[in-house]
Amino acid sequence: MKTIALTYHLKDIDAIATKVLEHLESKTLLFNGTMGTGKTTFINALLKAMGSNDTATSPTFSIVNEYTLPKDKVYHFDFYRVESLDEAYNFGIEDYLASNHWLFIEWPERISELLDNEQTLTITKIDNNTRSLKLTINNKLLTEHNAMTEPKF
């Protein structure tokens, strides 16, 4: 298991996003943090670092947003309002999980039975301008199916 802990000022979020991307070992990233800690803001910085011209918005009501990368795409999920696995299956979560695209998942505990938790990013608000971030990569859970074998983006 590999863990990286960083504390950053919001003005430095783009550099921190680039640093996080350098460490990722699969295209699935689970986001933990309380409401308002900046999960979607960090996803926006990741998109920018990946070369996307899209702006991340919270998919709380749509459940999933799609963003375009130069050679790939990102599916950004917010499962805060999902109350059951059946609800996730009804919108086709298994197809998204089986895709070879980037998956950024907020509130992953709502569908934990479907996830391996190989990479988690926990964001904690220290004050209005400062966050701490902990990236945990469980290498033992990476498989041939979910480990990155191609350039990251």
> What are the structural domain ranges in the chain?
2-141
Helix (H) / strand (E) element for 85: namely helix 85-90
Q: Is the pLDDT of residue 5 over 90?
A: yes
Query: Is there a contact between 111 and 87 (Cβ–Cβ < 8 Å)?
Result: no
Integer-rounded Cα radius of gyration of the chain: 15
Q: Residue 67 pairs with which residues in a beta bridge?
A: 74
Report residue 21: phi and psi, to 5°.
-60, -35
Q: Is the pLDDT of residue 45 over 90?
A: yes
Query: Is there a contact between 131 and 123 (Cβ–Cβ < 8 Å)?
Result: yes
Q: Residue 138: what pLDDT?
A: 83
How far is residue 88's CA from residue 138's CA, in Å, rounded to a whole number? 25
pTM recorded for the entire structure: 0.89
Domain 2-141 has CATH 3.40.50.2300: no
